[in-house]
Amino acid sequence: MEYPDRPYVYLHELTGSSCEEMESNAVAQICTNYGIPFIAIRILSNAAIHNEFFAPEAGDACQKYVLNVAEEYMKQRGK
């Protein structure tokens, strides 16, 4: 690895990702072991960290988006 102190840079160059997210990975591993379908959708915001404005309605919009994605996923799987 070319960036041992900044693994996110390596991951970005390797996969094109713009963030790293480890919590869902643990759940995904367990689901994989038991053959359970799994999807993770994370909405990321650094507004609190950087004292940026965060519109409260953004939370509602994000919830609706995630629900739509999950419903479409289930339709495609025939559930």
Q: What does each of the 79 residues of the chain score in pLDDT, given as a tens digit?
A: 566 677 777 877 887 777 777 788 889 999 999 999 888 888 776 666 667 777 788 888 888 998 999 899 889 888 5
Cα(79)–Cα(67) distance, integer angstroms: 15
DSSP type of residue 18 = S
Does residue 1 contact residue 10 with C-beta atoms inside 8 Å? yes
Predicted structure pTM score: 0.52
Q: Which of 52, 50, 31, 48 is nearest to 40 (CA)?
A: 31
Q: Which residues does 72 contact at the CB level (< 8 Å), separation at least 6?
A: none
